[in-house]
Structure 1
Amino acid sequence: MYNLEDYHYHLPESLIAQTPCEHRSLSRLMHLDRRRHGISHRRFLDIADLLRPGDLLVVNDTRVVPARLLGHKSTGGRVEVLIIDYAAGMKHLADTGGFQCDCLIRASRRPGAGTVLDLGEGIKATVIEHRDRISVVCFDGGTDFLSRLKKAGKMPLPPYIKRDQNPGQGSGTPAQMDEQNDRHDYQTVYANAEGAVAAPTAGLHFTNDLLATLSDKGVEVVQITLHVGYGTFVPVRVKDIRDHQIHSEYFIVDEQTAETINQARGAGRRVVAVGTTAVRTLEFCTDPGGRMSAGQGRCDLFIYPGYRFKCVDAMLTNFHLPESTLLMLISAFYDRERILNAYKVAVAEKYRFFSYGDAMFIE
């Protein structure tokens, strides 16, 4: 269970969702019952029937920033910059007055240190240094950079969602209409805290009406924050997964939320995590005795089979990439072979996969 190839499965490219379900909560939902080892097929709306009065639903309220910038090097060549640690950039801005963080740069030839980049809307940036595949970039403009980023930046969709790379001219081009749709669709309805460069996608299926239905049923909802970074898409490149170094991501859990979770656990109520980001944050902040602590900082918890869960009783999640750390996490929560069998069933039933795809409820 520690070999990377143990987490491979076959997925036809046609099942990778390129757009979301027209109505968020009408996406499909696979229900896995860990006690009876059962698999059933539902719609996401049915989560209102599967959750119980008294359940505590924990959601990640991070908000995706338009972190992808297109422009040119000072030498004239085209360049694409993807901000991958917005939270670190904000801290650098608060400390120094300048926004500087790790980025990924795509260009025909990677710009050297000191190269100035023109990224549109008056955004200028300077390459500071390179560390392997990551580049440190400093953006000019102080706090003005943030407002310019919202105008010039594009949503940082994962690489398996294909969009026209040429933005075209005018607001009515297909590429610009895709961008406008993604700015809405690639956010949860409760997104609030800006800082993610990828959406906590399990939460994309909720609507305000569905959340109201759950509240009426007696399901309590609390929010934590984990700013999802590019590390969620970084492939595992080692044969033994225990040798993989997972990227850290910035999290916030306030005192009231931690106390609510502790009270729920003390009363024997279920803690239901929405998404692997919520799972990692909850487990990172829970001590071996099962007590949750408030805090903020960097979460670098890598969960794979053999891990003993201390807080989470059930989870909602989307379908994940083969050989990914997220697939390893849900394999730790249930059982690797049963999870892979469920994925095989999902392929046969033509579920839609990945960020804009369908969901799974494991309880």
Structure 2
Amino acid sequence: MRRFYAVGLCDALGLGMYLSLSVLFLDRAAALTNQQIGIVLGASGVASLLGAMPIARAAERLGVRAVLGALFAIRCAAFLALSAVSSFGQALGAAAVAGLLSRGIGPLIESGLISRVGDAQAVGTLARLRTLRNAGMAAGALPAGAAIAGGAAWGYRAVLVASAVLFLCCAAVCRGFPASAAAPGGPGGPGGRARILRNRPFLAITALYGGFTLSALLLGIGMPLWIVQQTQAPAWSVTLIQLLNTVIVVVLQVRLSRGSERLARARALMCLGGLLAGLGALVVPLTVLGAGRLDLLVVVGAAVLLSLGELLITAGTTGAALLHIPQGHKTGHLAALNLGFAVTTVVGPPLISTTVSWDWAGWVGWAAFFTTLGLLALRVPQPRSRARREQVATVAA
């Protein structure tokens, strides 16, 4: 397991370095226009949606170890190419290749990590991985910040080269994964897709997860826009709430996930997470009642509620989803679950930026949305027995 944790941490460091300066890199080092930057980032996001399931099917056919090693090698090459771009076409091509892999790698790390543990241990194992990855993303922002402070084009390019080196290290570590982690999980292709599409409770959980994760985007996009446009809170409070979110996730992720391998607990976590996210959204417009320090207290309180809601939602949906995944088919199902979040990252930003402009009505709408999802989570059905699930999976294959 240590190798999987190492790969997850190293991958997060590289991504944290890139994500912290991607927009400024395309602006200041690649000299793209704002419109071109939007197209490049949009193409990367769309490519990530297209790549997730084919990558999962390849891993089920060829094995996690082989596919994951190849993906990291390709990602290394893509980031090296991205570090050297000097035109719109070059940036578009490199970013599209990098994006194509982005939603496929995470589920492979997760499925390989939990391939040798039971459902009772899987949720805690994944929670520890997410804790490491969040810490890695935060640490990756440090060298990116240094490059941004320096302002030199070569500094931005050097950070991307460093990210590429980290991905190459990940590829090397993957070669040492145990053989059991490389064993294919079942036939790929259309049969795998049909198995997931027939799993209606899992699809419902995936849809819930996609909707729930809008709370994380609301914290990362909606609140910064609200703070700088509608409040008298200091601009540095944007950084403060992001740092606060990271600390809460790192400290509480594992602790709050305990017991979520039981459906009753998973339902309760999802419901409470939705209610906390709704309450956090409802608190934000209270900034109109005060100024200065009071505005700062309000946004910090809202950030804490949204962060706690995010943790409970992640733990609950992960636990519930694992209970509805047939044995031997975790890779494809985890990729599908991740796809729910990937779709959210594409449609969420324009939706959130639009509703923030609706003043308090937008936040009340989000509060009602998350509260409704929380109540719906209580209706997630019980999984069929392990024996019955295995029998159905065998017949379907």
Query: TM tier, shorter chain?
Result: under 0.3
Higher helix share: 2
The normalised TM-score by structure 1 is 0.24
